[in-house]
Structure 1
Amino acid sequence: MALNLPVFYQRTGSAIVFAAVMLVGLFWNQWSYLALISLIGVLCLRDYIRLMKKIDSASAWPIWLPITIQLLGLYFIAVTYNWLHVKEGTPFELLNYFLPIAFVVPAVMLITGVLNNKNTVNSVMQAFGGLFYITVPMVFMMFMRGNDMIIPIALILLIWTNDTMAYLVGSFIGKTPFSPISPKKTWEGTGGGALLTMIGAMAYGYFSGRYRLVDWAMLGLCASVAGTLGDLVESKLKRMADVKDSGTLMPGHGGALDRFDSLLLAAPFAGAYVYYFMQLPTYVAP
């Protein structure tokens, strides 16, 4: 098959811009990281809402609902960022900042939805689902950087490593389909990608001397297993919506939800492991 140069240039240009934005956001300073995580949260919520509208076309989405849910997501991310600098109490006490807004705003939204239109109730509940699906992982990404900036960066790199290794292994020896949801994935590719990702993570831990090898192995496991499940979840949503991509943010690559679907499930698992099991240094501001 002949190479389609216009498509190739389009995909390459999008990939370069995406990589540049990610590198600046991850490495520049705490403000660029906050901006990057906030941008990912807003764009992924936008794609999620677009999918929900297609999946449940009977539901009504009043103009205030997407705006409110995105502002609520930004609030949770900003509160987490502020807490990481103040460091008052344990992460569980961070809930004291969340709960008042988390109860009042959804209650008002639900009451407004009930009074507005019977189909609006469905869209309000779907919007709440978007907060758990997208905003909670972004909060975990903020929390992990508050402990050590290398952890969320490593998680993202491990997810990319797993995707690449799974593709390569599957291309060479993949024969057994992994799931009907994503027919191109194979058990051989998925298993091989996970194994190589964990080995790569442990190799970095060995040569860098940061943390225990088991910690790096578990981060690699979170990136590969939870990351793969995250990809399958988003693929299922796209099938239900009958679309190829969740959005058109990156020409040739799809939307933000297509780019960060693996991170949405990997981040909570990695964040929980970091908090409960990793021997972390003293808290530092992100």
Structure 2
Amino acid sequence: MINNSKSSWQDLPLRVVSALVIIPIALFCIIYGQWFYIGMLGIISIAMTVEWANLFKKKLSNYRVAAFLIWPLVAYAAVIKGMWWPAIWIVGCAPFIFGPQLWLGSVVIGGAGISLLWLRFMTTSGMHAVIFIVLVVIASDSFAYITGKILGGPKLIPSVSPGKTWSGAIGGLVGACCVGSVIVGYLCAGLYTAYIGGAIFGMVTGVVAQIGDLLESKLKRELDVKDSGKIIPGHGGVLDRFDALLLVSIFVAFISCILPADKSFDKWGGSLLSSQVVGDQQPVFLPLTIFR
């Protein structure tokens, strides 16, 4: 039975149109890589830092806030030179000069950007690693939205996000599980163990995506703000659209860095996130070969 108290579907057409515009552009940049990909990340990062500063009512004319807006780009420039640890320091430690609120924004936004660069250029699967997390996040969000609208039911955490339900959360995890299984199974030439590994990792990624979404909802509720912006019809701001992807990209990049260098997890789909290998060594960080 449909719950009549749930919100209407009136924002669905706008969400669909926005997705039809955003997804092809994003896929083009992910597939072609290099400056297309880096440029896309740079533009999105600047948009998110602007929205983050606005959330905390920071004046963009302030010199420290102005520096914060382009701060992730400084880290990305370090990454282009192969300086991964300095890039992490740039987004994780140096931004304390901006104050705790902007520091948190730097960690989340800049950290996600560095993670997405790592996944695209420093994993053996390259673009497939990024496409995996993007499609899993989209599946989690879409299945949660549709399932929650149709089934309704008890609220997940009403004090944080009144619109989210348990049925939506479970539907989102099922969607993430199915999409993860299909992608990893396909990339591993149909190994049944890879389908299982992809399903498990897809579900775990879906959990992280929902946590990221809830954390942004909690932040906006604390700041008494409905949306981070209005640039994307049906979604709100750039942060509203990519909140789940921010935490997921950091999580998945971390997993790729701690995976064993051997092939023990390949049959379970571990090759999706394995880092590039030079000879018999798997380094912690490598310079980007495309910029040598």
Note the C-alpha offset of 1:160: 0.4
Check if 1:161 corresponds to 2:139: yes
Q: Name the structure 2 match of 1:75.
A: 74
Equivalent of 1:189 in 142, 145, 168: 168
Aligned to 1:40, the other structure's residue is in SS state helix
Q: Name the structure 1 match of 2:276.
A: 282
Query: Quick one: distance in 1 between partners of 2:127 and 2:211?
Result: 25
Note the C-alpha offset of 1:165: 1.4
Question: Alpha carbons of 1:186 and 1:73: their partners in 2 closer, same or farther (altered >3 Å)?
Answer: same
Q: How does 1:39-50 map to 2 (within 5 A)?
A: 39-50=43-54
The answer to whether the 8 A contact 2:136-2:205 is kept is yes
Check if 1:199 corresponds to 2:178: yes
Aligned to 1:127, the other structure's residue is in SS state helix
Deviations 1:40-82 (A, max 9, x none): 21111111111111xxxxx777621222112221111222233
How many residues matched? 255
Larger displacement relative to structure 2 (152-161 or 241-250): 241-250
Larger displacement relative to structure 2 (8-17 or 262-271): 8-17
Larger displacement relative to structure 2 (128-137 or 163-172): 163-172
Question: Alpha carbons of 1:30 and 1:219: their partners in 2 closer, same or farther (altered >3 Å)?
Answer: farther
Query: Quick one: distance in 1 between partners of 2:107 and 2:162?
Result: 27
Aligned to 1:178, the other structure's residue is in SS state strand
The answer to whether the 8 A contact 2:152-2:168 is kept is yes
Q: Which runs of 5+ in 2 are unaligned?
A: 1-6, 260-269, 278-287
Q: Which runs of 5+ in 1 are unaligned?
A: 54-58, 84-92, 111-123
Q: Name the structure 2 match of 1:125.
A: 100
Task: Give the letter for the 2:209 counterpart.
Answer: G
Note the C-alpha offset of 1:36: 1.1
Equivalent of 2:84 in 94, 116, 120: 94
Query: Quick one: distance in 2 between partners of 1:10 and 1:186?
Result: 22
Question: Alpha carbons of 1:242 and 1:96: their partners in 2 closer, same or farther (altered >3 Å)?
Answer: closer
Query: Quick one: distance in 2 between partners of 1:188 and 1:101?
Result: 37
RMSD across aligned positions (CA): 3.1
Note the C-alpha offset of 1:143: 0.6
Check if 1:134 corresponds to 2:133: no
Instruction: Report the TM-score, using the length of structure 1 for normalisation.
Output: 0.77
Aligned to 1:242, the other structure's residue is in SS state coil
Note the C-alpha offset of 1:18: 2.3
Q: Name the structure 1 match of 2:42.
A: 38
Check if 1:175 corresponds to 2:153: yes
Q: Name the structure 1 match of 2:255.
A: 273
Query: Quick one: distance in 2 between partners of 1:207 and 1:166?
Result: 24
Query: Quick one: distance in 1 between partners of 2:227 and 2:90?
Result: 36
Identity of aligned residues (%): 26
The answer to whether the 8 A contact 2:144-2:170 is kept is yes
Q: Name the structure 2 match of 1:118.
A: none
Task: Give the letter for the 2:239 counterpart.
Answer: L
The answer to whether the 8 A contact 1:222-1:269 is kept is no
Check if 1:244 corresponds to 2:226: yes
